[in-house]
Amino acid sequence: MSLNDTFTSETELHGVSDPIIEIRDAEVVFEMDRGVSRVLDNVNLTVERGEILGIVGESGSGKSMLASAILDAVVDPGILSGSITYYPENGDPIDVLSLSDEELRKLRWESISMVFQGAMTSFNPTMSIRGHFEETLDAHDFDIEEGMERGHQILSDLYLESERVMDSYPHELSGGMRQRALIALSVLLEPDVLVMDEPTAALDLLMQRSILALLESLKEKYDLTMVFITHDLPLVAELSDRLAVMYAFELIEQGPTNEILQNAGHPYTRSLLNATPNLDAPLSEMRPIEGSAPDPVNVPKGCSYHPRCSVANNRCVEADPEYQQITEEHVAACFHCDDAVEAIPLTHDQAVVQEDEP
């Protein structure tokens, strides 16, 4: 397929100049007894080389499915369609979905690696950490001695006693240690892209912080592009260059982090910001979002958010909004971006979050 044809004006609108991963019209469906379940709906997303992209969404919004889709790892019997293109630093673009099994096996972990949800159970309980490292190197025909040296180095970079951790079995490590060991394992083969699906969900707050700091230094040192998927908006806001917000299996808003925090265009994003707890904001200002997220079999017609939206009108019920331009790099899928800003004032100044950013 001719990749240049797929470059639409839309791509440029998102402010990406040097893409590393490009997702076009990605869709995942599951055939179920009670109907077709569409758990990823027409997702378009471009990841810039060297950036940290945050993807935010609530439970069951399809964000894990998006992560799986990037690696063509959607579980059976789900069907993934659309196109996913990986642009290596040198060489031709790779159409991920048309790779053979063997090519896909090589792409995974060598080029695009993943730390996914449930890191606590990502290690084989009957095998030492060293075993995991060695078999990974072996499976990808890497030099084991050299690879293990790098493995030790990465573990040390993550402030772990590499010898002790290597000799341990998973159950002998604490949650934070296991998480860091998994991150080390994921960058062992020096991939270009690291996709992380809720990598800190099971950790306590302090551990989350320190892992984030480690990730940032790791990114600098190993020149990684990161896709960070989470339900935790404040967490990802601190880390990421750009944000994409997911609601009901669609990406409803994308833009630079600062832009979204200060000037979100989609009513859902604005409500999400208001629903997010914040030490500095009084609890009384917190506004939970009314209603609940839709069922994948039965997504509302038109704009999928309209039943919960305070600014929705008939137009929202009838038609699904396209992306509307807010600034050059910031788009939102809503007919009423301007009304939303007035109708849903942000209860606190999110910009302060940015102060923590380097």
Contact 335, 321 (CB under 8 A): yes
358 lines the binding site for another protein (CB under 8 A):
no
Query: Is residue 279 a contact point for another protein (CB under 8 A)?
Result: yes
Determine if 287 is a binding residue for another protein (CB under 8 A). no
Counting contacts by CB under 8 A, is residue 100 touching another protein? no
**Dihedral (CA of 98, 103, 104, 109) sign:** negative
Q: Quick one: 9 or 59, whose CB is closer to another protein?
A: 59
Q: What span, in angstroms and rounded, lies between the C-alpha atoms of 291 and 314?
A: 19
Site for another protein in 248-277 (CB under 8 A): 275-277
341 is an interface residue for another protein by CB under 8 A? no
Of residues 5, 9, 33, 345, which one binds another protein by CB under 8 A? 33
Smallest gap from residue 319 Cβ to another protein (A): 26
Q: Does 172 bind another protein (CB under 8 A)?
A: yes
**From the list 5, 145, 280, 342, which residue makes contact with another protein (rule: CB under 8 A)?**
280
Place of tokens 């929202």: 316
75 binds another protein (CB under 8 A): yes
Kindly write down the DSSP assignment for every residue of 9-26, as one continuous string.
Answer: HHHHHTT-SSEEEEEEEE
CA angle, corner 307, sides to 301 and 310, nearest 5?
Answer: 130
Q: How far apart are CA 336 and CA 341, in angstroms?
A: 9
Interacting stretch for another protein, rule CB under 8 A, among 3-11, 15-23, 135-143, 144-152?
135-143
Strands (E), 217-303: 225-230, 242-247, 250-256
Residue 303 to residue 323: CA distance in whole angstroms: 12
Helix (H), strand (E) at residue 148? helix 144-157
Q: Which residues bind another protein (CB under 8 A)?
A: 30, 32-34, 37, 39, 58-60, 62, 64-65, 71, 73-77, 105-106, 108-110, 114, 116-118, 121-128, 135-136, 139-140, 169, 171-172, 185, 198, 201-202, 205, 231-232, 234-235, 237-238, 275-280, 283, 286, 288-289, 295-297, 352-353, 355-356
